[in-house]
Amino acid sequence: MDIRRNKDQIVVGISHGDYNGIGYEVILKTFSDRRIFEFSTNIVYGSQQVANFYIKNLNLNGIGLNFVKDSTRLHSGKLNILSHEEKEVVVDVGKSTKKAGSMALWSIEKAIEDLKNKNIDVLVTAPINKDNIQSKNFKFAGHTDYLAKAFDTKDYLMLMVQQNLRIGVITGHIPLKDVASTITSDLIIQKIKVLHRSLEYDFGLRKPKIVILGLNPHASDNGLIGNEEQEIIIPAIKRAQKEGILAYGPFPADGFFASENYKNFDAVLAMYHDQGLIPFKTLAFKDGVNFTAGLPVVRTSPAHGTAYEIAGKDLASPDSFRQALYLGIEIFKNRKLFDEISQNPLPSALKKISQKATKDEDASSLPDENNDKAGLPY
């Protein structure tokens, strides 16, 4: 059946990532369970040829595919695939190639185009190779910065999610030697605000509690090991508190996760990439999700990379990709609900009052049936 059966069903767009990695394997394994189609209509921006290659080589027969020429006519009960115009695509499983990088970029660009045109509601990005995708149109350290530029967003945050575990990073993909000089009170307060807004808007949490980790060992031991906590981090936390945000810290990063103190908070802000992602992937590598908070659109991704070393060997778990799909749908619904309950009720109330007054006025102008009868000559 062409066109989605239920017009209210969420449409998920999937960029296929680096097709020499495990992207197609986790995508196809996810949609081999037909129950997934109950939640969304789905379209992969990729290649019919590549999809068929992995179906054959991984013995994933039985997956319903629907190949489309545009994203406006989709089958809700099958995995729709919008193919790149390239006729011959050579799959070099487990290898990095320029062609795989250029097609990964094409896939993201097509998905972004459809997001902007509202042909899709959610974007789930399969893993890319950050090296072979580099070109004159892509000079970024990853999806996050590229999407922020595409949607003209300055305040955004890479947020790793697994159920109630949420870890954001104040500095992302930058060299470790640049972390201390990059961190400022203004940057910290900016990230705190993005995270606070996301916890309310995307996750439906009221008065969320945010913890901020220190930069230095032992959060500097009151200035004994560095001064960033006293001069930069603590002032930012106090500013956030004055604005009504429940922000706490800075906490020493080394024992924070081992003590399971993270369970007392709705989200954690780490100072730099590995400080946040090492504990996250230790705790939630199998089904963790990368979510870009702050964007006007919903974008999620599995927490893993291309995993060339296991590509094509039927070893890749679809759990992380499946959770990325679920989380994207959940966040889209949460945003829609938040917008509905946050609408100013006054205009609609005034409209109803006006409509009622008009009806009453019309009714009062009608002749009274009893009076008219009383005045009739018999």
pLDDT in tens, 12-38: 999 999 999 999 999 999 999 999 999
61/184 same-domain check: no
For the purposes of burial, counting CB atoms within 10 Å of the CB of 38, is it exposed (0-12), middle (13-18) or buried (19 or more)? exposed
256/319 same-domain check: no
Q: Is 310 helix (H, G, I), strand (E, B) or coil?
A: helix
- The CATH number of residue 91's host domain is 3.40.718.10
- Look at residue 369 and tell me if it is in a domain: no
- Look at residue 168 and tell me if it is in a domain: yes
Angle at 226 between CA 224 and CA 231, to 5 degrees: 105
Q: Of 234, 268, 293, which residue constitutes the final position of a domain?
A: 293
- Look at residue 43 and tell me if it is in a domain: yes
Q: Is the peptide bond before 279 cis (omega within 30 degrees of 0)?
A: no
5/120 same-domain check: yes
- Look at residue 376 and tell me if it is in a domain: no
Q: What is the pTM of this model?
A: 0.87
Residue 255's domain comprises 154-293
128/178 same-domain check: no
Confidence at residue 93, expressed as pLDDT on a 0 to 100 scale: 96
Q: What mean pLDDT is reported for the chain?
A: 90
239/311 same-domain check: no
61/96 same-domain check: yes
Give the HSE-up count for residue 202: Cα atoms under 13 Å, Cβ half-sphere: 29
Confidence at residue 314, expressed as pLDDT on a 0 to 100 scale: 96
172/270 same-domain check: yes
110/178 same-domain check: no
Q: What is the pLDDT of residues 65-88, one digit of tens each?
A: 999 998 998 999 999 999 987 778
179/273 same-domain check: yes
Q: Are 180 and 271 in contact (CB under 8 A)?
A: no
Q: Of 241, 266, 293, which residue constitutes the final position of a domain?
A: 293
How far, rounded to the nearest angstrom, does the alpha carbon of residue 347 sit from its chain's CA centroid?
32
DSSP state of 202: T
- Look at residue 36 and tell me if it is in a domain: yes
Q: Of 268, 293, 318, which residue constitutes the final position of a domain?
A: 293
Beta bridge partners of 14: 44, 124
Confidence at residue 372, expressed as pLDDT on a 0 to 100 scale: 43
324/189 same-domain check: no
- Look at residue 371 and tell me if it is in a domain: no
Confidence at residue 62, expressed as pLDDT on a 0 to 100 scale: 81
1/147 same-domain check: yes
Confidence at residue 172, expressed as pLDDT on a 0 to 100 scale: 87
Q: Residue for token digits 């203004």?
A: 186
- Look at residue 359 and tell me if it is in a domain: no
User: What's the domain count of the chain?
Assistant: 2
Q: Are 51 and 65 in contact (CB under 8 A)?
A: yes
Confidence at residue 221, expressed as pLDDT on a 0 to 100 scale: 85
- Look at residue 175 and tell me if it is in a domain: yes
Identity of the amino acid at 140: F
How far, rounded to the nearest angstrom, does the alpha carbon of residue 82 sit from its chain's CA centroid?
21
**Angstrom distance (rounded) from CA 45 to CA 23:** 12
**Angstrom distance (rounded) from CA 65 to CA 325:** 18
265/299 same-domain check: no
Q: Are 16 and 122 in contact (CB under 8 A)?
A: no
Q: What is the pLDDT along the chain (378 residues), one digit of tens a residue?
A: 445 445 678 999 999 999 999 999 999 999 999 999 999 999 999 999 999 999 999 998 888 899 999 899 899 999 999 998 777 889 999 999 999 999 999 999 999 999 999 999 999 999 999 999 999 999 998 899 999 999 999 999 999 999 999 999 999 889 999 999 999 999 999 999 999 999 999 999 999 999 999 999 998 888 888 899 999 999 999 999 999 999 999 999 999 999 999 999 999 999 999 999 999 999 998 999 999 999 999 999 999 999 999 999 999 999 999 999 999 999 999 999 999 888 766 555 555 555 655 555 555 554 444 444 333 332
**Angstrom distance (rounded) from CA 122 to CA 173:** 24
**Angstrom distance (rounded) from CA 192 to CA 294:** 11
Measured torsion, CA atoms of residues 50, 51, 54, 58, in degrees rounded to the nearest 10:
-170
